[in-house]
Amino acid sequence: MTTTSRRSDRHDLRPMLTEQMVLELVPISRTTLFRLERAGKFPRSVYVSPNRRFWFRDQVVAWQTAINDNDERNPKRGRGKGRRRQSIAS
């Protein structure tokens, strides 16, 4: 194998993030991270061994971009399951 082919192989690899790295990038708790992942609202992690899981960096970046594009901080959105709607006086 030549050095040029090794260099091109490195460019084909997708960078991976550890749990700690993801939590430093995304301001949520560990529990929230796993709840979002289980609900399908965050990219799935990949196990590389029984006790080591990683996330692909490009998928986390795409998730962040989607969150920014689909801003859900609208104050008129619902308040959660089972909550009563507030009546707005005209």
CATH number of residue 58's parent domain: 1.10.1660.10
> For a pLDDT cut of 90, what percent of the chain falls above it?
53
Amino acid of residue 7: R
The 10s digit of each residue's pLDDT in 51-82 is 999 999 999 999 988 886 665 555 566 666 66
Residue 90 lies in a domain: no
38: pLDDT strictly greater than 90? yes
For the segment 4-13, the average pLDDT, to the nearest whole number, is 64
Domain of residue 33: give its range.
Answer: 13-69
- Which residue blocks in 1-89 are alpha helix, DSSP H? 3-12, 19-25, 30-38, 57-69
User: What is the spatial distance between Cα 27 and Cα 20, in angstroms, rounded to a whole number?
Assistant: 11
